Structure 1
């Protein structure tokens, strides 16, 4: 066939365009360009993920399954030995975290909404030894004294010094009447708290309320609404959480020993629908202020302090996922202050969890409520350096 040079160039250009259309688009930020690559599909409402030393990824599905992703494929059989969960509303199988010395002890920690005999449910944390696709020797380490509808909290993190932190939500207790009587302002239950335990579930003697009458000794901080992001800087010991506000008022908080974060007495949100005030104000003496507030809310869920090598300019800063916001927010830190922020992964979907992989890439678990849900990762794209003469 006799093909003219012009027609030949047109065919090459068409093929090149078609090929590039299948490549993930490059996205841009102030410091790094990146692309979003699909790691695995076919999950049903994933809530959390962790990476095992052998290369497998474990993913919790809200309905109660712990799934295995191996070599980019979702295995058909879930992990055996997972307890029954309360899979209603916001409840289900929630966080999954490895013990810091997992390679030696195979201890895996899971949080979930535990069904109770009276038909209610509460936040609980278990651990077991993970071997050959099964969780063995399962023991309960923590059961929250809390009742309500949703807002289980349920993030788990270790500080590398032998302590485990757990978030527990306020269980959607309605703020009405005397705001100071709200259970999140009480130390006598686990509504709206951060709990601090030893890795075996025992209570540290230096917890702030150990010697206080009618206070639960597990409590480290209180006055929270529903923290579903938790990250610990093991170098400094700083504990960061992101928590859901109501209509407006999502918060990034630096969690300090014995501090009261004010919910629902102070805050930055309003009542759903009506827009009427909830709080008595935004500040009150003795109540700790957030380090950042999102108004409108992005429905914060999932938080990491990035320490990888793939995105060096993000190292030492926080990345927070958003459900309603369908995004990731980069929060640049100067010490314990947020000095600037930038939205990444615009309109990617409901970001339920965010983790750093062993490759230094950033992994996102998307919670699609009406369809199969994927796990994506952010991969760096090298930037082209332009000279002054270009």
Structure 2
């Protein structure tokens, strides 16, 4: 199934973006895209940390096409070198989708996942040497003794593309917990050839404090080798029993990871509670505060902890949302196919039901746009294809191509 959608914006609005990495940059001057009242009276730590000026892509600059609607709860998408897409489905299936929208039969050989709640077969990435070794890596929720864990698997895509050969689990984020929420679930390669993995703090009040505990792998960003060992050069945390695989701590439910195309920095997105969704630029060894500081409150309304948003030694998000948009998978756009988008950050928004476009200058957000907001879709992941287009999957089963007309 294919469906083309042209997005037009009336009036004299021009392309407005601002990034020193963007060769068509200009100052944004539109009102913020968020018009709903916030859930709190909390104040940002610095100007532009939330509700930044809006930007708008010109009327005929891009086209969104539904390549297929035949997926079932897709969670992760990544591009194969030949232009096809490799897609995970939450229930534990891995599929290939062609540019024409043909969906393969499930690829066998993936270890069993626990798809209950927010679990399942989650994010995935290709080995940097995929063209020669055909290795892929994926995050999934695994039932083990004592409960469930966020796990990382790897295996070789068979030459006939019908199975994964030699699938093994190379890492498990311990301790296990019997809940089925907040797995995190993204995995990407950094520029050193090591894997960066996001794990959630598993949501419940009894596990939430583990985001601050360096002897636990919950609520963390992890950096490991292709074999699942702590990566060389990882930071050292002062807490007793600190895990050597930790890269940063103090995270809630991080479902977004992306590598900045010019700096190589790891950027991360995570779900806040009621308010306080975050975008962070990760620094090795840093503490991002959850649940000690947050720009959100409990879903029932009370403040979280002491109700503070800043504390010495705890990092501030580059950007946050209140009310939430529920940021999931994200990617930096490196193509010149759509003017003004180069090096912008694109994020799938679940409850927000749109794709966020953030314009970034000197590690600060200077403009925000909402794309495909009329589609009524929960955007779960987004990636750039080998053709330079963006591809996004939704919980409702769609795969979109977003490209110039």
Alpha-carbon offset, residue 91 of structure 1: 0.5
Match of 1:340 among 347, 351, 367: 367
In structure 2, the CA distance between the partners of 1:212 and 1:104, relative to structure 1 (3 Å rule), is farther
Whether 1:63 and 2:94 are equivalent positions in the alignment is no
Aligned residues: 350
Whether 1:134 and 2:163 are equivalent positions in the alignment is yes
Structure with more contact order per residue of length (Cα contacts < 8 Å, sep ≥ 6): 2
Q: From the two aligned structures, give the one with the greater strand fraction.
A: 1
Alpha-carbon offset, residue 206 of structure 1: 2.1
Give the match for residue 171 of structure 1.
202
Give the match for residue 242 of structure 1.
269
Q: Which moved more, 1:291-300 or 1:346-355?
A: 346-355
Report the Cα distance in structure 1 between the residues aligned to 2:144 and 2:206, rounded to whole angstroms. 25
Match of 1:111 among 135, 139, 145: 139
Q: From the two aligned structures, give the one with the greater helix fraction.
A: 1
State the TM-score, normalizing by the size of structure 2: 0.82
**Does the CA contact (< 8 Å) of 2:142 and 2:151 recur in 1?**
yes
Larger C-alpha radius of gyration, 1 or 2? Answer: 1
Whether 1:48 and 2:72 are equivalent positions in the alignment is no
In structure 2, the CA distance between the partners of 1:302 and 1:27, relative to structure 1 (3 Å rule), is farther
**Does the CA contact (< 8 Å) of 1:175 and 1:278 recur in 2?**
no
Alpha-carbon offset, residue 175 of structure 1: 7.2
Give the match for residue 25 of structure 1.
6
Give the match for residue 152 of structure 1.
183
Give the match for residue 387 of structure 1.
none
Whether 1:378 and 2:359 are equivalent positions in the alignment is no
**Does the CA contact (< 8 Å) of 2:4 and 2:66 recur in 1?**
no
Please list every run of 5 or more consecutive structure 1 residues that lacks an aligned counterpart in the other structure.
Answer: 1-21, 382-390
Whether 1:87 and 2:104 are equivalent positions in the alignment is no
Report the Cα distance in structure 2 between the residues aligned to 1:198 and 1:24, rounded to whole angstroms. 42
Alpha-carbon offset, residue 211 of structure 1: 8.1
Runs of 4 or more above 4 Å deviation: none
Q: What is the aligned-residue RMSD (CA, Å)?
A: 1.9
Give the match for residue 97 of structure 1.
125
Alpha-carbon offset, residue 311 of structure 1: 1.5
In structure 2, the CA distance between the partners of 1:212 and 1:294, relative to structure 1 (3 Å rule), is closer
Give the match for residue 6 of structure 1.
none
Report the Cα distance in structure 1 between the residues aligned to 2:402 and 2:388, rounded to whole angstroms. 10
**Does the CA contact (< 8 Å) of 2:214 and 2:237 recur in 1?**
no
SS at match of 1:303: strand
SS at match of 1:364: strand
Report the Cα distance in structure 1 between the residues aligned to 2:305 and 2:239, rounded to whole angstroms. 27
CA-to-partner distance for each residue in 1:315-359, whole Å, 9 max, x for gaps? 111111100000111111112111121212113210000111112
Alpha-carbon offset, residue 71 of structure 1: 4.5
Report the Cα distance in structure 2 between the residues aligned to 1:328 and 1:279, rounded to whole angstroms. 31
State the TM-score, normalizing by the size of structure 1: 0.85
**Does the CA contact (< 8 Å) of 1:96 and 1:111 recur in 2?**
yes
SS at match of 1:182: helix
